Amino acid sequence: QSDMQSWEEQSQGAIYTVEYACSAIKSMTDSSVYFKSIDSLLKHSIAMKEQLNAAQGRRYPQNPGKKIPGKS
């Protein structure tokens, strides 16, 4: 009977582990919407930062003493 009880306890532990793992996977799957949103926001901010850098580059040239061809 002790062997049977031990087997039952091990089985219950394994079932709990599998259920916990399934729950964790479901949570990760449900979170994918948020990760996609974060990814989109990061890409958008990088693009905006690049636009700002380009605009600042036009406003404040890197080499102010260097003459631009065709300009006096």
pLDDT tens, position by position, 44-68: 999 999 999 998 887 766 665 555 5
- Burial zone of 12 (CB within 10 Å; 0-12 exposed, 13-18 middle, 19+ buried): exposed
Q: Give tens-digit pLDDT for 26-42.
A: 999 899 999 999 999 99
Q: Which runs of consecutive H residues, i.e. helices, occur in the chain? A: 2-59
Structural domain includes residue 62: no
**1-9: average pLDDT:** 88
Structural domain includes residue 68: no
In the chain, the number of structural domains is: 1
- Which domain range does residue 34 map to? 1-56
Task: Give the sign of the dihedral formed by CA 34, CA 39, CA 42, CA 47.
Answer: negative
CA distance 34 to 25: 15
Tokens 């979170």, residue? Answer: 31
